[in-house]
């Protein structure tokens, strides 16, 4: 089940008009892995329930039945051969992110990746060598970086590591200055010279030493996938969000995505009233399960589409684009009970356009943008929690000082007394 975001509000009457919808949402609270297990049990136990050969596309995460991927197969219905190059799946996925005219440039860019995932030439040289407009090559590089691992398609190891560090910062696992550390002070890291790096960054030595350990354990001087030969399977997710030429779209697996159908009754069996009666009970159970899966998909589809539409800037720009959004607001917009929205969101995951699988609840609340702003404000110099409160208020975020202290601690930013102005 797929929904273009512009359709979300127009589809609201459909939710209101489905009789008994909210009475058939037994499966709404189930996350994807438990739903998979439930379907497998039902198929094994019910002789009237059939399931086609079904899998998750390793490239884009879409459900596919009988080997056909609805997103990657293209107009001729071709499915890419299993990859023998670690970047082959990357090319397939990146081609989904660009205009059709730029897809050839994507393959050119991927062909210029070294084993570390670095570009072996600058964009202008690639464009000249292949007689392509520079703008097309740059668009292809942006697509590869959007869907690939952090650091992919950079020119130097320093830039590659800086991208990996930015991912840690965006996920709230490292302070913002760690990007400067890996980009500008690699020799100090290699020598374990925390004191020199601390003096240049204006950060306490103990904090830099802890960052050294984080760099050694979490960052790698290559952007290649670890999967070896063959594509990396996309993690299963409850909600799939894609970016294409038409904008953002949301997809949630329904009964068709699972390949489910009610089996036909052979003519010889239909001649036996007892067998027909026995199979009829199983047929009703099979049809009921499919309706419940479709009801779950309908509710989750509209909840996710509404939230994604509100958080489009967050998905495009990162934490700075996150806006405050509550489950109650989404429930009111869709005409659902707040508890239904809460059950639809709880424990679910979302596959972002860049391929990362994150909790769906990341689209809700207000802390994401505030934490990012605390990180950026603290990067300008040491501020007390009270000063951070005032600065946040000037940006429209009124929060308590203890909340600021909590966010600062989560970001690994020491208190003002322990920070040195650079």
Answering whether pTM is above 0.95, one says no
Q: Whole-angstrom Cα distance, residue 344 to residue 37?
A: 18
Mean per-residue pLDDT over the chain, rounded:
78
Q: How confident is the model at residue 330 (pLDDT cuts 50, 70, 90)?
A: very high
Q: Around Cβ 255, how many Cβ atoms within 10 Å? A: 22
Q: Looking at 76-80, 362-366, 376-380, which range is the least confident one?
A: 76-80
List helix spans (H) across 59-100. Answer: 88-95
Q: In this predicted model, what pLDDT tens digit does every residue of 221-270 receive, in sequence order?
A: 776 544 333 344 455 789 999 887 778 889 998 998 888 999 888 787 78
DSSP state of 261: E
Residue 79's contacts (CB-CB under 8 Å, 6 or more residues apart) are: 67, 68, 69, 72, 73
Q: Whole-angstrom Cα distance, residue 105 to residue 101?
A: 8
Q: Whole-angstrom Cα distance, residue 219 to residue 163?
A: 10
Would you give the distance in Å from CA 280 to the centre of its chain? 42
Q: In this predicted model, what pLDDT tens digit does every residue of 361-375 receive, in sequence order?
A: 889 887 676 777 777
**Residue environment code for 83-115, b if the CB has 16+ CB neighbours within 10 A, otherwise e:** beebbbbbbbbbbbbbeeebbebbebbbebbee
Q: In this predicted model, what pLDDT tens digit does every residue of 186-198 receive, in sequence order?
A: 888 878 888 888 8
Token duo for residue 415? 């208190």
Q: Whole-angstrom Cα distance, residue 239 to residue 62?
A: 10
Q: Whole-angstrom Cα distance, residue 51 to residue 129?
A: 50
Q: Looking at 79-88, 103-112, 337-346, 398-407, which range is the least confident one?
A: 79-88
Q: In this predicted model, what pLDDT tens digit does every residue of 96-144 receive, in sequence order?
A: 777 777 788 888 888 888 877 888 889 999 999 889 999 999 999 998 8
Q: Whole-angstrom Cα distance, residue 42 to residue 317?
A: 42
Q: In this predicted model, what pLDDT tens digit does every residue of 22-58 receive, in sequence order?
A: 445 678 888 888 888 888 889 888 888 988 765 566 5
215 pLDDT above the threshold of 80? yes
Structure confidence at residue 88 (pLDDT): 56
Q: Whole-angstrom Cα distance, residue 272 to residue 146?
A: 59
């Amino acid at each position: 089940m797929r929904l273009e975001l512009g359709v979300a509000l127009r589809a609201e009457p459909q939710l209101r008009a489905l009789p008994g919808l909210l009475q058939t949402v037994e499966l709404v609270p189930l996350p994807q892995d438990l739903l998979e297990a439930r379907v497998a049990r039902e198929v094994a136990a019910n002789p009237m329930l059939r399931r086609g050969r079904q899998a998750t596309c390793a490239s884009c995460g879409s459900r596919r039945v009988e080997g056909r991927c609805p997103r990657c197969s293209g107009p001729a219905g071709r499915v890419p051969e299993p990859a023998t190059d670690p970047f082959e799946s990357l090319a397939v996925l990146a081609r989904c992110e660009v205009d059709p005219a730029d897809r050839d440039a994507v393959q050119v860019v991927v062909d210029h990746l070294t084993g570390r995932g670095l570009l072996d030439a600058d964009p202008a040289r690639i464009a000249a060598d292949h007689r392509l407009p520079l703008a097309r090559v740059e668009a292809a590089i942006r697509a590869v970086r959007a869907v690939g691992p952090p650091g992919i398609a950079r020119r130097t190891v320093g830039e590659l590591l800086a991208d990996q560090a930015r991912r840690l910062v965006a996920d709230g696992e490292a302070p913002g200055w760690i990007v400067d550390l890996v980009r500008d002070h690699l020799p100090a890291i290699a020598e374990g010279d925390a004191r020199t790096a601390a003096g240049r960054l204006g950060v306490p030595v103990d904090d830099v030493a802890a960052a050294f350990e984080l760099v050694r354990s979490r960052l790698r001087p290559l952007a290649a996938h670890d999967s070896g030969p063959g594509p990396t399977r996309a993690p299963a997710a409850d909600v799939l969000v894609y970016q294409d030429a038409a904008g953002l779209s949301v997809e949630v697996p329904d009964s068709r995505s699972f390949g489910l159908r009610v089996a036909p009754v052979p003519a010889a069996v239909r001649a036996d009233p007892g067998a027909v009666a026995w199979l009829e009970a199983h047929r009703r159970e099979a049809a009921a399960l499919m309706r419940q899966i479709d009801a779950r998909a309908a509710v989750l589809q509209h909840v996710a589409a509404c939230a994604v539409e509100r958080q489009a800037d967050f998905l495009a720009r990162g934490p700075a684009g996150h806006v405050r959004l509550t489950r109650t607001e989404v429930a009111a917009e869709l005409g659902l009970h707040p508890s239904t929205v809460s059950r639809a969101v709880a424990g679910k995951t979302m596959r972002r356009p860049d391929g990362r699988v994150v909790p769906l609840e990341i689209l809700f609340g207000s802390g994401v943008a505030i934490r990012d702003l605390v990180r950026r404000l603290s990067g300008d110099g040491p501020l007390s929690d009270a000063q951070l409160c005032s600065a946040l208020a000037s940006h429209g975020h009124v929060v308590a000082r203890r909340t600021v202290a909590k966010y600062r601690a989560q970001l690994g930013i020491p208190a003002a007394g322990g920070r040195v102005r650079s």
